[in-house]
Protein backbone atom coordinates (compact mmCIF):
# COMPACT_ATOMS: atom_id res chain seq x y z
CA UNK A 1 0.00 0.00 0.00
CA UNK A 2 1.28 3.49 -0.78
CA UNK A 3 2.01 5.83 2.10
CA UNK A 4 -1.03 7.56 3.57
CA UNK A 5 -1.83 11.03 2.36
CA UNK A 6 -3.19 12.02 5.79
CA UNK A 7 -2.47 10.38 9.07
CA UNK A 8 -3.97 11.07 12.50
CA UNK A 9 -1.79 9.78 15.32
CA UNK A 10 -3.20 9.55 18.84
CA UNK A 11 -5.38 12.58 18.32
CA UNK A 12 -7.30 14.00 21.28
CA UNK A 13 -9.49 17.05 21.20
CA UNK A 14 -11.47 18.65 23.99
CA UNK A 15 -13.49 21.83 24.28
CA UNK A 16 -14.03 24.09 27.24
CA UNK A 17 -17.66 24.94 27.85
CA UNK A 18 -18.23 27.03 30.95
CA UNK A 19 -16.36 25.31 33.73
CA UNK A 20 -16.46 21.87 32.12
CA UNK A 21 -13.94 20.34 29.79
CA UNK A 22 -15.63 18.15 27.21
CA UNK A 23 -13.42 15.40 25.79
CA UNK A 24 -14.81 15.20 22.25
CA UNK A 25 -12.18 13.00 20.60
CA UNK A 26 -9.98 10.45 22.30
CA UNK A 27 -7.02 8.61 20.85
CA UNK A 28 -8.10 8.74 17.22
CA UNK A 29 -5.75 6.93 14.82
CA UNK A 30 -6.63 6.98 11.14
CA UNK A 31 -4.59 6.69 7.96
CA UNK A 32 -6.22 8.05 4.85
CA UNK A 33 -4.71 6.31 1.86
CA UNK A 34 -4.38 8.02 -1.49
CA UNK A 35 -7.57 7.64 -3.57
CA UNK A 36 -9.22 5.19 -1.23
CA UNK A 37 -12.93 5.48 -0.40
CA UNK A 38 -13.05 6.13 3.33
CA UNK A 39 -16.21 6.80 5.24
CA UNK A 40 -16.63 7.81 8.87
CA UNK A 41 -19.99 6.90 10.38
CA UNK A 42 -21.53 7.33 13.78
CA UNK A 43 -24.44 8.92 15.53
CA UNK A 44 -24.98 12.59 16.07
CA UNK A 45 -22.39 14.09 18.40
CA UNK A 46 -19.88 11.23 18.24
CA UNK A 47 -17.19 13.52 16.84
CA UNK A 48 -17.30 13.04 13.07
CA UNK A 49 -17.30 16.71 12.13
CA UNK A 50 -14.61 17.47 14.70
CA UNK A 51 -12.45 14.73 13.16
CA UNK A 52 -13.13 16.17 9.70
CA UNK A 53 -12.07 19.65 10.79
CA UNK A 54 -8.89 18.26 12.34
CA UNK A 55 -8.04 16.42 9.11
CA UNK A 56 -8.31 19.71 7.24
CA UNK A 57 -6.28 21.66 9.76
CA UNK A 58 -9.29 23.85 10.54
CA UNK A 59 -9.10 22.84 14.18
CA UNK A 60 -5.89 22.12 16.10
CA UNK A 61 -5.62 18.94 18.14
CA UNK A 62 -5.41 19.10 21.92
CA UNK A 63 -2.90 16.26 21.79
CA UNK A 64 -1.50 14.09 19.03
CA UNK A 65 -0.38 14.91 15.49
CA UNK A 66 -1.80 15.14 12.01
CA UNK A 67 0.51 14.40 9.12
CA UNK A 68 0.01 15.45 5.53
CA UNK A 69 2.21 13.49 3.12
CA UNK A 70 4.38 12.52 6.05
CA UNK A 71 4.88 16.00 7.52
CA UNK A 72 3.36 17.18 10.80
CA UNK A 73 0.94 19.92 9.72
CA UNK A 74 1.65 21.92 12.87
CA UNK A 75 5.23 22.36 11.71
CA UNK A 76 4.39 23.55 8.19
CA UNK A 77 5.34 27.13 7.33
CA UNK A 78 5.26 29.43 4.31
CA UNK A 79 4.69 27.77 0.95
CA UNK A 80 4.31 24.33 2.49
CA UNK A 81 1.59 25.54 4.79
CA UNK A 82 -0.20 27.28 1.90
CA UNK A 83 0.06 24.15 -0.19
CA UNK A 84 -1.48 22.05 2.61
CA UNK A 85 -4.33 24.54 3.04
CA UNK A 86 -5.09 24.42 -0.67
CA UNK A 87 -4.72 20.65 -0.90
CA UNK A 88 -7.14 19.65 1.83
CA UNK A 89 -10.68 21.05 1.63
CA UNK A 90 -13.86 20.44 3.59
CA UNK A 91 -17.41 20.62 2.25
CA UNK A 92 -20.16 21.07 4.78
CA UNK A 93 -23.07 19.52 3.06
CA UNK A 94 -25.57 21.89 4.51
CA UNK A 95 -27.04 23.66 1.51
CA UNK A 96 -28.55 26.41 3.61
CA UNK A 97 -25.73 27.51 5.84
CA UNK A 98 -22.61 27.53 3.77
CA UNK A 99 -23.09 29.88 0.80
CA UNK A 100 -22.85 33.66 1.01
CA UNK A 101 -26.30 34.96 0.01
CA UNK A 102 -24.96 38.23 -1.41
CA UNK A 103 -22.59 36.68 -3.96
CA UNK A 104 -23.40 35.28 -7.37
CA UNK A 105 -22.14 31.85 -8.34
CA UNK A 106 -19.49 33.43 -10.51
CA UNK A 107 -18.26 35.68 -7.68
CA UNK A 108 -18.18 32.81 -5.23
CA UNK A 109 -16.03 30.69 -7.50
CA UNK A 110 -13.77 33.50 -8.77
CA UNK A 111 -12.76 34.78 -5.37
CA UNK A 112 -10.60 31.82 -4.27
CA UNK A 113 -9.10 31.60 -7.78
CA UNK A 114 -7.97 35.22 -7.59
CA UNK A 115 -6.89 35.07 -3.96
CA UNK A 116 -4.72 32.00 -4.44
CA UNK A 117 -3.58 33.27 -7.89
CA UNK A 118 -4.81 30.04 -9.44
CA UNK A 119 -5.84 31.56 -12.74
CA UNK A 120 -3.64 33.95 -14.71
CA UNK A 121 -6.00 36.79 -15.69
CA UNK A 122 -9.67 37.73 -15.89
CA UNK A 123 -10.33 35.60 -18.96
CA UNK A 124 -8.53 32.72 -17.30
CA UNK A 125 -10.66 33.08 -14.18
CA UNK A 126 -13.89 33.04 -16.15
CA UNK A 127 -12.70 30.06 -18.15
CA UNK A 128 -11.94 28.17 -14.94
CA UNK A 129 -15.31 29.06 -13.37
CA UNK A 130 -17.01 27.56 -16.42
CA UNK A 131 -14.91 24.41 -16.16
CA UNK A 132 -15.81 24.04 -12.50
CA UNK A 133 -19.55 24.38 -13.17
CA UNK A 134 -19.20 21.82 -15.89
CA UNK A 135 -17.42 19.42 -13.51
CA UNK A 136 -20.32 19.54 -11.06
CA UNK A 137 -22.86 19.11 -13.87
CA UNK A 138 -24.39 22.57 -13.62
CA UNK A 139 -24.94 22.95 -17.34
CA UNK A 140 -25.67 24.86 -19.47
CA UNK A 141 -23.27 27.06 -17.54
CA UNK A 142 -25.10 30.28 -18.59
CA UNK A 143 -28.14 29.19 -16.56
CA UNK A 144 -26.19 29.22 -13.32
CA UNK A 145 -23.26 31.59 -13.52
CA UNK A 146 -25.11 34.78 -12.51
CA UNK A 147 -27.52 33.26 -10.00
CA UNK A 148 -27.64 33.97 -6.28
CA UNK A 149 -27.93 31.06 -3.78
CA UNK A 150 -31.64 31.71 -3.12
CA UNK A 151 -32.33 31.19 -6.81
CA UNK A 152 -30.93 27.66 -6.67
CA UNK A 153 -32.42 24.42 -5.37
CA UNK A 154 -30.87 22.59 -2.42
CA UNK A 155 -29.11 20.13 -4.69
CA UNK A 156 -27.75 22.87 -6.93
CA UNK A 157 -26.42 24.74 -3.90
CA UNK A 158 -24.58 21.64 -2.82
CA UNK A 159 -23.01 21.36 -6.25
CA UNK A 160 -21.80 24.95 -5.92
CA UNK A 161 -20.23 24.11 -2.54
CA UNK A 162 -18.42 21.24 -4.20
CA UNK A 163 -17.28 23.42 -7.11
CA UNK A 164 -15.98 25.98 -4.63
CA UNK A 165 -13.96 23.32 -2.82
CA UNK A 166 -12.49 22.29 -6.18
CA UNK A 167 -11.21 25.79 -7.02
CA UNK A 168 -7.95 25.16 -5.17
CA UNK A 169 -7.34 21.82 -6.95
CA UNK A 170 -7.29 19.84 -3.71
CA UNK A 171 -5.93 16.33 -3.34
CA UNK A 172 -8.20 15.56 -0.37
CA UNK A 173 -11.81 16.56 0.20
CA UNK A 174 -13.68 15.88 3.43
CA UNK A 175 -17.39 15.80 2.60
CA UNK A 176 -19.46 16.16 5.76
CA UNK A 177 -23.11 15.25 5.28
CA UNK A 178 -25.36 16.85 7.83
CA UNK A 179 -28.37 15.06 9.23
CA UNK A 180 -30.66 17.77 7.91
CA UNK A 181 -29.97 16.73 4.35
CA UNK A 182 -32.93 14.52 3.71
CA UNK A 183 -33.80 14.89 0.05
CA UNK A 184 -33.61 11.22 -0.78
CA UNK A 185 -34.12 11.71 -4.50
CA UNK A 186 -31.07 13.91 -4.97
CA UNK A 187 -28.49 12.77 -2.43
CA UNK A 188 -27.40 9.72 -4.41
CA UNK A 189 -26.82 11.87 -7.49
CA UNK A 190 -24.49 14.10 -5.50
CA UNK A 191 -22.62 11.16 -4.09
CA UNK A 192 -22.21 9.62 -7.54
CA UNK A 193 -20.87 12.89 -8.84
CA UNK A 194 -18.28 13.02 -6.08
CA UNK A 195 -17.24 9.45 -6.78
CA UNK A 196 -16.71 10.45 -10.42
CA UNK A 197 -14.64 13.47 -9.41
CA UNK A 198 -12.26 11.19 -7.58
CA UNK A 199 -11.51 9.41 -10.85
CA UNK A 200 -11.42 12.52 -13.01
CA UNK A 201 -9.40 14.72 -10.68
CA UNK A 202 -7.44 12.23 -8.57
CA UNK A 203 -8.89 13.59 -5.38
CA UNK A 204 -9.23 11.46 -2.26
CA UNK A 205 -12.61 11.86 -0.60
CA UNK A 206 -13.35 11.21 3.05
CA UNK A 207 -17.10 10.99 3.41
CA UNK A 208 -18.79 11.64 6.76
CA UNK A 209 -22.35 10.51 7.41
CA UNK A 210 -24.61 9.12 10.10
CA UNK A 211 -26.24 6.79 7.56
CA UNK A 212 -24.59 3.37 7.48
CA UNK A 213 -26.40 2.33 4.31
CA UNK A 214 -25.12 5.41 2.52
CA UNK A 215 -21.64 4.70 3.87
CA UNK A 216 -21.88 1.21 2.42
CA UNK A 217 -22.82 2.65 -0.97
CA UNK A 218 -19.99 5.20 -1.03
CA UNK A 219 -17.23 3.04 0.39
CA UNK A 220 -18.22 -0.31 -1.16
CA UNK A 221 -14.66 -0.75 -2.45
CA UNK A 222 -13.08 0.99 0.50
CA UNK A 223 -13.22 1.23 4.25
CA UNK A 224 -15.64 2.32 6.94
CA UNK A 225 -14.64 3.68 10.33
CA UNK A 226 -17.33 3.51 13.02
CA UNK A 227 -17.19 6.07 15.81
CA UNK A 228 -18.85 5.98 19.22
CA UNK A 229 -18.63 8.74 21.84
CA UNK A 230 -15.41 10.25 20.53
CA UNK A 231 -13.55 7.05 19.73
CA UNK A 232 -13.07 4.93 16.67
CA UNK A 233 -14.44 1.51 17.67
CA UNK A 234 -14.14 -0.42 14.42
CA UNK A 235 -12.42 0.23 11.11
CA UNK A 236 -12.00 -2.09 8.18
CA UNK A 237 -13.16 -3.12 4.72
CA UNK A 238 -16.72 -2.02 4.11
CA UNK A 239 -18.00 -5.27 2.66
CA UNK A 240 -16.67 -7.16 5.64
CA UNK A 241 -18.11 -4.78 8.20
CA UNK A 242 -21.54 -4.88 6.57
CA UNK A 243 -21.55 -8.67 6.25
CA UNK A 244 -19.94 -9.54 9.53
CA UNK A 245 -19.49 -6.65 11.94
CA UNK A 246 -17.15 -7.45 14.83
CA UNK A 247 -17.51 -4.71 17.41
CA UNK A 248 -20.61 -5.04 19.64
CA UNK A 249 -21.66 -1.46 18.88
CA UNK A 250 -21.48 -2.05 15.12
CA UNK A 251 -23.43 -5.29 15.52
CA UNK A 252 -26.19 -3.58 17.49
CA UNK A 253 -26.30 -0.68 15.06
CA UNK A 254 -26.62 -2.89 11.99
CA UNK A 255 -29.33 -4.95 13.62
CA UNK A 256 -31.32 -1.86 14.65
CA UNK A 257 -31.54 -0.07 11.32
CA UNK A 258 -34.81 -0.61 9.45
CA UNK A 259 -34.63 -1.67 5.81
CA UNK A 260 -36.62 -0.15 2.96
CA UNK A 261 -38.10 -3.60 2.30
CA UNK A 262 -41.21 -4.61 4.29
CA UNK A 263 -40.55 -8.33 4.46
CA UNK A 264 -36.89 -8.01 5.31
CA UNK A 265 -37.29 -5.34 7.89
CA UNK A 266 -40.19 -7.05 9.66
CA UNK A 267 -38.34 -10.34 10.01
CA UNK A 268 -35.04 -8.81 11.11
CA UNK A 269 -33.65 -9.89 14.49
CA UNK A 270 -32.81 -6.96 16.73
CA UNK A 271 -30.10 -7.27 19.32
CA UNK A 272 -31.33 -5.85 22.61
CA UNK A 273 -29.16 -3.39 24.49
CA UNK A 274 -28.31 -4.15 28.09
CA UNK A 275 -29.60 -0.71 28.97
CA UNK A 276 -30.66 2.33 27.04
CA UNK A 277 -28.59 4.65 29.14
CA UNK A 278 -26.79 7.16 26.94
CA UNK A 279 -23.83 8.83 28.58
CA UNK A 280 -22.88 12.39 27.95
CA UNK A 281 -19.32 13.13 26.93
CA UNK A 282 -18.80 14.87 30.26
CA UNK A 283 -19.68 11.80 32.28
CA UNK A 284 -18.11 8.98 30.32
CA UNK A 285 -18.18 5.66 32.14
CA UNK A 286 -14.88 4.05 33.07
CA UNK A 287 -13.45 1.36 30.80
CA UNK A 288 -15.11 0.94 27.41
CA UNK A 289 -17.63 3.76 26.96
CA UNK A 290 -20.12 1.35 25.40
CA UNK A 291 -20.09 -1.03 28.35
CA UNK A 292 -23.27 0.20 30.10
CA UNK A 293 -25.25 -0.60 26.94
CA UNK A 294 -23.22 -3.50 25.57
CA UNK A 295 -25.06 -6.81 25.40
CA UNK A 296 -21.74 -8.71 25.45
CA UNK A 297 -20.23 -6.84 28.38
CA UNK A 298 -17.76 -8.79 30.52
CA UNK A 299 -17.90 -7.82 34.17
CA UNK A 300 -14.60 -6.73 35.67
CA UNK A 301 -12.99 -6.28 32.25
CA UNK A 302 -15.05 -3.90 30.14
CA UNK A 303 -15.72 -1.54 33.04
CA UNK A 304 -12.05 -1.40 34.03
CA UNK A 305 -9.82 -1.12 30.97
CA UNK A 306 -10.07 1.25 28.02
CA UNK A 307 -9.82 -0.79 24.82
CA UNK A 308 -7.55 0.32 22.00
CA UNK A 309 -7.99 -0.42 18.31
CA UNK A 310 -6.40 -3.73 17.47
CA UNK A 311 -6.86 -6.75 15.26
CA UNK A 312 -9.09 -9.28 17.03
CA UNK A 313 -7.34 -12.39 18.30
CA UNK A 314 -6.82 -15.01 15.55
CA UNK A 315 -9.15 -13.13 13.27
CA UNK A 316 -9.12 -13.93 9.58
CA UNK A 317 -10.52 -10.46 9.01
CA UNK A 318 -8.70 -7.35 7.96
CA UNK A 319 -10.40 -5.22 10.55
CA UNK A 320 -9.49 -3.46 13.77
CA UNK A 321 -11.79 -3.15 16.76
CA UNK A 322 -11.60 -1.54 20.16
CA UNK A 323 -13.02 -4.25 22.42
CA UNK A 324 -11.01 -6.05 25.06
CA UNK A 325 -12.83 -9.41 25.06
CA UNK A 326 -12.49 -9.54 21.26
CA UNK A 327 -8.85 -8.61 21.40
CA UNK A 328 -8.23 -11.49 23.79
CA UNK A 329 -10.15 -13.90 21.63
CA UNK A 330 -12.99 -14.50 24.07
CA UNK A 331 -16.19 -15.92 22.68
CA UNK A 332 -18.72 -13.16 23.10
CA UNK A 333 -21.72 -14.29 25.11
CA UNK A 334 -24.95 -12.34 25.02
CA UNK A 335 -26.42 -11.18 28.30
CA UNK A 336 -30.12 -11.65 28.73
CA UNK A 337 -31.86 -8.36 28.17
Ligand X SMILES: Nc1ncnc2c1ncn2[C@@H]1O[C@H](COP(=O)(O)OP(=O)(O)OP(=O)(O)O)[C@@H](O)[C@H]1O
Cβ proximity to Mg ion: between 49 and 106 the closer is: 49
Distance CA 37, CA 34 (A): 9
Query: Smallest distance from the beta carbon of 53 to ligand X, in angstroms?
Result: 8
Site pattern 168..187 for other proteins (x: CB under 8 A): -----------x--xxxxxx
Among 273, 319, 321, 326, binds other proteins (CB under 8 A): 273
The item of ligand X, other proteins, Mg ion, none sharing an interface with residue 121, based on CB under 5 to 8 Å by kind, is none
Site for Mg ion in 28-57 (CB under 5 A): 49
Half-sphere exposure of 63 (CA within 13 A, CB side): 9
Give the Å distances, CA to CA, from 2 to 5, 6, 35, 69, 129. Answer: 9, 12, 10, 11, 33
Cβ proximity to ligand X: between 114 and 179 the closer is: 179
Distance CA 79, CA 120 (A): 19
65 closest CA partner among 4, 2, 3, 13: 13
Task: Tell me which stretch binds other proteins (CB under 8 A): 10-18, 23-31, 208-216, 307-315.
Answer: 208-216
Distance CA 245, CA 234 (A): 9
The item of ligand X, Mg ion, other proteins, none sharing an interface with residue 265, based on CB under 5 to 8 Å by kind, is other proteins
Phi first, then psi, for residue 153 (nearest 5°) are -75, 170
Q: Is 18 in the site for other proteins (CB under 8 A)?
A: no
Distance CA 181, CA 153 (A): 13
Query: Smallest distance from the beta carbon of 65 to other proteins, in angstroms?
Result: 31
The item of ligand X, other proteins, Mg ion, none sharing an interface with residue 22, based on CB under 5 to 8 Å by kind, is ligand X
Three-state secondary structure call for residue 28: strand
Q: Is 210 in the site for ligand X (CB under 6 A)?
A: yes
Do the Cβ atoms of 191 and 200 come closer than 8 Å?
A: no
Site for ligand X in 172-191 (CB under 6 A): 178-179
Distance CA 239, CA 306 (A): 27
Among 60, 124, 258, 329, binds other proteins (CB under 8 A): 258
Q: Is 107 in the site for other proteins (CB under 8 A)?
A: no
Site for ligand X in 1-60 (CB under 6 A): 15, 17, 22, 24, 42, 44-50
- Ordered alpha helix ranges (H), the chain: 48-55, 78-87, 105-115, 122-135, 142-145, 154-166, 184-201, 212-218, 238-243, 248-256, 262-267, 324-327
Query: Smallest distance from the beta carbon of 118 to other proteins, in angstroms?
Result: 30
Query: Smallest distance from the beta carbon of 85 to other proteins, in angstroms?
Result: 33
Cα dihedral sign for 175, 181, 185, 186? Answer: negative
Do the Cβ atoms of 5 and 190 come closer than 8 Å?
A: no
Cβ proximity to ligand X: between 97 and 114 the closer is: 97
CB neighbours of residue 220 within 10 Å? 15
Task: Tell me which stretch binds other proteins (CB under 8 A): 24-32, 117-125, 214-222, 311-319.
Answer: 214-222
The residues binding ligand X (CB under 6 A) are 15, 17, 22, 24, 42, 44-50, 178-179, 210, 281
**Which residues of the chain form contacts with other proteins (CB under 8 A)?**
43-44, 153-156, 179, 182-189, 192, 210-214, 216-217, 220, 239, 242-243, 252-254, 256-263, 265-266, 270, 273, 276, 278, 293
- Applying CB under 5 A, the residues found at the interface with Mg ion are 49
Amino acid sequence: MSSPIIELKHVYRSFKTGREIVPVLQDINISVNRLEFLCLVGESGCGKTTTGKIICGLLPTSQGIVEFEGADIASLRGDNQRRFRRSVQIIHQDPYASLNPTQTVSEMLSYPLIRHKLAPHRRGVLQRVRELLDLVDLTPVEDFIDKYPHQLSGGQRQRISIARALTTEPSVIVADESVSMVDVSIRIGLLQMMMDLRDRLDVTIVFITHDLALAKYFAWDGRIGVMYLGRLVEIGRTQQIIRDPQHPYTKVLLSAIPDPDPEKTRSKQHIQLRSEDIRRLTELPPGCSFHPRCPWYVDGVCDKEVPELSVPFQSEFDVEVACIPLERGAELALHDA
